[in-house]
Structure 1
Amino acid sequence: MKLLACSDIHGHLEAAEILASKASEEGFNIILVAGDLTHFGPAELGRKVVETLLKSGLPVLHVPGNIDPPGLHEALKDVGVSLHGRGVEVEGLKIVGAGYEDGVSQPLRRGIAELGKPPDIVLTHVPPYGSKVDVAWSGEHVGSVELADFLREFKPRLSICGHIHEARGVDQLNGTLICNPGPAFKGFYAEVLFEERVEVSLEKFEF
């Protein structure tokens, strides 16, 4: 299984067009978007971003980010798969998601309840606390303790996040591979091969 992971598109439709083309032309199976589809809205722009990604012909799973407008999750329920508080199975992969809010554990647990089994992949906007992918410019860890605890409890094979633009990278947390692909509006994304082993390659495209 080949996944295209991206985050922080921030309404950049050209970036979405390029990602859609890459996904369709390079043999990807799923597109996962870890929040901030827009830059403070509007919801209609978020819809255009997802519709652009859907031109790839692939499933597009997404969660809202901290500067997406309130209600984006509801507004996009019929476009792609809005994964906040949900659990879905796509081509055998069990995936749960949570957007940006005070707590991620409750929506992720709702997703597990919907699946009826633990997830293979967790998609969130925020990164887990205490990893390479949650370090701000100040050098401080600014991720979610709640998410880190959730990953330790359920041990998914992969956690995809975003939010901290400067913390693009890959790390491990108690056996879970964590990927922050970096901001897509700057051309960053990740290629994930999800087989017996999970392998992540950080990639960049030019505009």
Structure 2
Amino acid sequence: MGLFKRKQPEGVDNKKSQLKILFTSDLHASDVAFRKFLNVGKMIKADVMIIGGDLAGKALIPIIDIGNGKYEVDSTQVGKEGLETVIKQIKANGNYYVIVDKKEYDEMVQDKRKVDEAFKNAIQERLKEWIQLAEERYKDTKIPIYFNLGNDDPMYMFDIVPEESIFKRTEGFIIPIGDLEMISYGYVNPTPWNTYREKNEEEIYKDLKEIMNKVSDPSKVILNTHAPPYGTNLDNAPLLDKNLKPVVKGGDIVMTHVGSQSVRKIIEEYKPLMGVHGHIHESKAFDKVAGTLVFNPGSEYSAGVFHGLYILVEGNKIKAHQFITG
């Protein structure tokens, strides 16, 4: 890739013997899940907070202004009083909204470019809201919130994050965290949905190998890849048929491994201190690959449930780890 640079530590005491890390992933624009993430960070007195990709939501819901203070949402009419409740619920579920009149709605139905533009505006606005909220909640601390984009995140999300923000971009940098270094990589192996950021296994392996060859000590690396390693407890997902429907046998959904073989190969070769991953929402778990502990906190963003991972590091060893759900 040729882009990776070493950054100076931000807000982390390198002399501190203990390091409290809070990791989450796949928030998918859920306001409730993100607010809980901020709350947990303060509750556990985290030194470092990490979002491992997929900040963007997946749906844009039109709210049609039909006049006289009335709005139509999914064939249901609400007044101005009910509109605020509707918007709050949309945001809690990890969705976006756009308020349009009937003419604008009809134009969007006929022109996909207008939908794409509205989607882009909504994604950027939600991320700006999150950054502002984080700045307000953490203005008296020096705790950085590191983030990388996942496969469902368009690259333009990087463009709206100010350099001086509490949100710190990790992709493209080797981030010193205490005595450790973190590298982040948001691309995933191909999926059936052809999402924004996918690469074949050969490209993923080449990219990750180049990054790992630049770190000071692989055994002191936090490997933050959105895709989990293949063939572990972290990458179980429903097997899909040609119509992208889950395969069911004997009344049970058939599961299969869908993680990255390249991520697994990199872990086996370099043996980093830990791997923190996401992407596969239903595979909340930890496992070991070649002696390296790997984690996926899972995700239930649409239900407003927060899934996180607390990791306590002493020196260059993982002293404790705990999944947090609520």
Under TM normalisation by the shorter chain, which class is it? 0.7 to 0.9
CA deviation after TM superposition for structure 1 residue 59, in Å: 1.3
The alpha-carbon distance between structure 1 residues 204 and 87, as it changes in their structure 2 partners (threshold 3 A), is same
Secondary structure of the residue that 2:36 maps to in structure 1? helix
The worse-fitting range, judged by mean Cα deviation, of 77-86 and 63-72 is 77-86
Match runs of 1:29-108 below 5 Å: 29-40=47-58, 42-53=123-134, 55-56=137-138, 57=141, 58-76=143-161, 78=163, 79=165, 80-100=167-187, 101-102=198-199, 103-108=203-208
Distance (Å, rounded) in 1 between the aligned partners of 2:289 and 2:257: 14
Distance (Å, rounded) in 2 between the aligned partners of 1:30 and 1:184: 23
Match runs of 1:1-40 below 5 Å: 1-40=19-58
Residue type of the alignment partner of 1:122? L
Match runs of 1:186-201 below 5 Å: 186-195=305-314, 196-201=317-322
**Alpha-carbon RMSD:** 2.2
CA deviation after TM superposition for structure 1 residue 203, in Å: 1.2
Question: In structure 1, what is the equivalent of residue 324 of structure 2?
Answer: 203
Long gaps (5+) in structure 2: 1-18, 59-119, 188-197, 240-254
Secondary structure of the residue that 2:257 maps to in structure 1? coil
The alpha-carbon distance between structure 1 residues 27 and 133, as it changes in their structure 2 partners (threshold 3 A), is same
Distance (Å, rounded) in 2 between the aligned partners of 1:26 and 1:3: 9
The alpha-carbon distance between structure 1 residues 110 and 77, as it changes in their structure 2 partners (threshold 3 A), is farther
- Between structure 1 and structure 2, the one with the greater Rg is 2
Q: How many residues align?
A: 205
Distance (Å, rounded) in 2 between the aligned partners of 1:76 and 1:68: 14
The alpha-carbon distance between structure 1 residues 168 and 97, as it changes in their structure 2 partners (threshold 3 A), is same
Distance (Å, rounded) in 2 between the aligned partners of 1:53 and 1:105: 34
Long gaps (5+) in structure 1: none
CA deviation after TM superposition for structure 1 residue 109, in Å: 4.2
The worse-fitting range, judged by mean Cα deviation, of 104-113 and 8-17 is 104-113
The alpha-carbon distance between structure 1 residues 147 and 21, as it changes in their structure 2 partners (threshold 3 A), is same
Please list the CA deviations of residues 137-164 of structure 1 after superposition, one character each: whole Å capped at 9, or x if unmatched.
2311000011111111111111011110
Distance (Å, rounded) in 2 between the aligned partners of 1:110 and 1:43: 31
CA deviation after TM superposition for structure 1 residue 68, in Å: 1.1
Preserved CA contact (<8 Å) 2:281 2:300: no
Distance (Å, rounded) in 1 between the aligned partners of 2:284 and 2:152: 19
The alpha-carbon distance between structure 1 residues 46 and 7, as it changes in their structure 2 partners (threshold 3 A), is same
CA deviation after TM superposition for structure 1 residue 182, in Å: 1.1
Distance (Å, rounded) in 2 between the aligned partners of 1:129 and 1:15: 27
Residue type of the alignment partner of 2:184? G
Distance (Å, rounded) in 1 between the aligned partners of 2:168 and 2:204: 18
Residue type of the alignment partner of 1:145? Q
Identity %: 25
Distance (Å, rounded) in 2 between the aligned partners of 1:112 and 1:47: 32
Q: Could you tell me the TM-score, scaled by structure 2's length?
A: 0.57
Distance (Å, rounded) in 2 between the aligned partners of 1:32 and 1:194: 15
In the alignment, structure 1 residue 164 sits paired with structure 2 residue 289: no
